[in-house]
Amino acid sequence: MTTGSFSNGLDPHETYMREALAEAEEGARQGEVPVGALLVTPDGDIIARAHNQPISLNDPTAHAEILVLRQAAKQVVNYRLPGYVLYVTLEPCVMCVGAMVQARLAMVVYGVTDPKGGGIESVYQIGMNGKLNHRLQAQGGILAEESRALLQSFFSLKR
């Protein structure tokens, strides 16, 4: 995957994160906590996209990240996704980071940190733990303000 810029001059991380934000907005419209994710192949193609759905699916594991991993694994008929990059609007939780490690993703790129449950940097550092059999590259802070604003808006309406 290209880590430079697209031919149109845009940062690919920001471009993909905007797609993840669109998924998060769809989740908010459906009454779910607005977290969106997408999975990008090593060639830069979006292979899967989802938003949080634990409420609508009555499934505590139906986080956006888990849903995109499931979609992609079915498409490529393999539970290992080496070289793939997952984009998500909120720092993934421990469950989601564990699934990313099991899938052998190359990288996770996220928007805003989660100081109450983050599994990459805020509370735990699962993906970079040297005791595990796979390490995950991570980059946070991509369109963090947009991600934060969407979450804050959602929760202010709920209160």
Coil/strand/helix, residue 132: coil
Q: Is 65 a catalytic residue?
A: yes
CB atoms within 10 A of CB 80: 13
How many CA atoms lie less than 13 Å away from 26 in the CB half-sphere?
A: 15
The one catalytic residue among 32, 65, 91, 121: 65
Contacts of 116 (CB under 8 A, 6+ apart): 122, 123
What single letter denotes the amino acid at residue 72?
Answer: A
| Separation CA 93–CA 33 (nearest Å) | 14
Residues involved in catalysis: 65
